Chain A
Amino acid sequence: MTGARKLQGDKLSEAEAIERAKQGDAEAFEALYHLHKRRVYSLCLRMTANTAAAEDLTQEAFLQLFRKIATFRGESAFSTWLHRMAVNVVLMQLRKKGLAVVPLEETFESEEETSKKEPGADDVRLTGSIDRLQLKRAIDDLPQGYRTIFLLHDVEGYEHNEIATLVGCSIGNSKSQLHKARMKLRELLKTSKAEKAAKP
């Protein structure tokens, strides 16, 4: 750990660390891990909403990356390559567990209609006042399929055509689910805000 911090302190470049990692340099592996661990772990944690599962998936994503590092040619960003690998690891895990990666259209429309009728929530505006902690909780409360699309697009920055390929749905479906995820988050945040305002 100390060595890696020193390397980071001396600004070992990512390119240098990659080349050394290809030679089996332990400190280079560690440096690369520390450079990218937060992004990968944050992705895994938000997708699974479970710390233990997120740690396992983070470990698996980095191991897959390090096994294949000799093939990295540098033509795309290393972080993009790693990130894509991490997303695939998470999606495979979700599929193994039988969790819907993309929700069925019919299942959630009735829930949305019910939530829209909640008294007081419609009057609350969100603009300029989104609490990050509340947003994180609301994301955790999203159904799995909505959460996956929302995280991939709005948090991780994937385009709809990339999401459609990763998740195995159509582009139109990806756009529709993202919109529904945002609408659901809007309702959850408004409810939370209204509850907070109502407390003495």
Chain B
Amino acid sequence: MSRKKSTPETRGGKAIGAGDRSDFVSVTIADQLFGIPVLQVQDVLGAQRITRVPLAPPEVAGSLNLRGRIVTAIDIRTRLRLPPRPEGQHGMSVVCDYEGELYSMLVDVVGEVLSLENNTAERNPATLDPVWREVSAGIYRLDGKLLVVLDVARVLDFSARVAA
């Protein structure tokens, strides 16, 4: 893969550190709250017809058509080594722009946009599962729950994934 890996310094830099507050689209995957930097989000979609792509990495759920553009769908559950979504739950997609290409992140539920104070941000705990640590750009302390910031670039970089 020719894409440059983002360095830890710039990782999620757009979200963290720019001003006092950062905006995230909150999503829920397997009851865990995640945040995707709002500036990277292009669309939020309901359940879509997804075409399977044979031989693709397991994280790639397939391709879908977003107003004439072909978008590659990434199943975040598979990416995070979570069990598949329960039957009957259709899931939603957050479409992100990464280096000019569109990727659709399949999540369970998309919530609202949260504006979070940067002083509530924490680094990843050292004990976090390596797979999670890889895609997480940090953690925000919210009232009663924690929000894991998804780093889109890292989510898409399967080549560096930690062997299961």
A, B assembled together: no
